[in-house]
């Protein structure tokens, strides 16, 4: 019963959030564009689907993904579990003892990114616009690797308690250097990749993981240390995609050994 009430409240709140958008679009269409709205019934049904979908999505986050992230973090940082792996116990635990957390964070970041609908759409469009020069799977895997590394490094920051700004500043220094060296075609796509990957699938899970980890590790504050994983998940895909572009250029410009006879034009062969 509580779940039904919560679902109704989430749907109602989603309707309130969507209402200004609907109002603006209708007013703009009728009074600025001065055109009637075609297929009004379909448009209204679409807005209803959007509203209900957003509400149910928020219910799913609240009831499933956030608790799941906290549970995963608690289990991975359980002293008994870490003692079985390391032989250390209690206050003797050091950051190296949490390597299972880093591996799990990298795996969850990689897998959720591959399932990100926004990334799929961008990859398909990039492949189409570039005439196949940018591979769909190549781009998706590059972004997923970046997110995996970023989330893992973010978990390391939470466990060690190091300042977030140092990691982000160092990361953007790397991005600036890569931007000066990467092919121009890949730069805008790389910068967009950080945004498209932090969407409906990835953000809820890694946010829950960060908050759960900050709650489970002694001396960490969920408010001060629990947030920040999304920043890592946005930054490192840029680095990964720029590196993907640079490696593609290096691979294309690699010299290929051919016969001298094949290299020469036909007229030059006769001249010889």
User: Can you give the pLDDT at residue 82?
Assistant: 63
Task: Give the torsion sign (CA, 30, 32, 38, 44).
Answer: negative
Say what percent of the chain tops pLDDT 70: 84
Distance of CA 54 to the CA centre of its chain: 20
> For all residues of the chain together, what is the average pLDDT?
81
Q: Please say if the pLDDT value at position 269 is more than 60.
A: no
Instruction: State the Cα angle at 67 between 111 and 57, rounded to 5°.
Output: 70
Count the neighbouring beta carbons within 10 Å of the beta carbon of residue 221: 10
User: Can you give the pLDDT at residue 99?
Assistant: 81
Bigger pLDDT: 149 vs 66: 149
Bigger pLDDT: 262 vs 74: 74
Q: Give the separation between CA 177 and CA 163, rounded to whole angstroms.
A: 23
Q: Give the separation between CA 195 and CA 143, rounded to whole angstroms.
A: 11
Closest CA to 112 of 210, 231, 202: 202
Is the model's pTM score more than 0.85?
Answer: no
Helix 136-160 vs helix 202-216: angle between axes, to the nearest 10 degrees? 20
> Residue 79: helix, strand or coil by DSSP?
helix
> Do residues 114 and 196 lie in contact, with contact meaning Cβ atoms separated by under 8 Å?
no
pLDDT tens for each residue of 238-259: 999 999 888 877 777 655 444 4
> Do residues 204 and 66 lie in contact, with contact meaning Cβ atoms separated by under 8 Å?
yes
> Do residues 209 and 158 lie in contact, with contact meaning Cβ atoms separated by under 8 Å?
no
Closest CA to 49 of 26, 15, 16: 15
Query: What does the DSSP 8-state code read for residue 184?
Result: T
């Amino acid at each position: 019963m509580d779940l039904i009430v919560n679902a109704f409240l989430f749907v109602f709140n989603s309707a309130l959030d969507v209402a200004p958008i609907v109002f603006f679009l209708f007013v703009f269409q009728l009074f600025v564009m001065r055109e009637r709205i075609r297929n009004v019934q379909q448009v209204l049904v679409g807005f209803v689907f959007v509203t209900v979908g957003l509400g149910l999505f928020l219910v799913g986050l609240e009831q499933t993904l956030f608790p799941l992230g906290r549970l995963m973090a608690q289990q991975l940082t359980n002293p008994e579990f870490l003692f079985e792996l390391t032989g250390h116990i209690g206050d003797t635990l050091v950051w190296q003892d949490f390597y299972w957390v880093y591996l799990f964070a990298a795996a969850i970041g990689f897998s959720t990114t591959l399932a990100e609908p926004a990334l799929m759409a961008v990859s398909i469009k990039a492949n189409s616009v570039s005439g196949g020069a940018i591979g769909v799977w190549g781009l998706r895997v590059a972004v997923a690797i970046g997110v995996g590394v970023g989330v893992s490094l973010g978990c390391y920051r939470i466990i060690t308690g190091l300042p977030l700004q140092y990691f982000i500043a160092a990361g953007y220094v790397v991005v600036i250097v890569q931007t000066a060296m990467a092919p121009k075609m890949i730069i805008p796509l790389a910068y967009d990749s950080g945004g498209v990957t932090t969407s409906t699938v990835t953000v809820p899970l890694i946010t829950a993981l960060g908050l759960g980890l900050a709650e489970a590790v002694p001396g960490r504050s969920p408010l001060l240390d629990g947030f920040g994983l999304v920043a890592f998940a946005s930054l490192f895909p840029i680095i990964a995609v720029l590196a993907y572009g640079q490696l593609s250029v290096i691979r294309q410009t690699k010299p290929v050994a051919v016969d001298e006879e094949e290299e020469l034009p036909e007229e030059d062969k006769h001249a010889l």
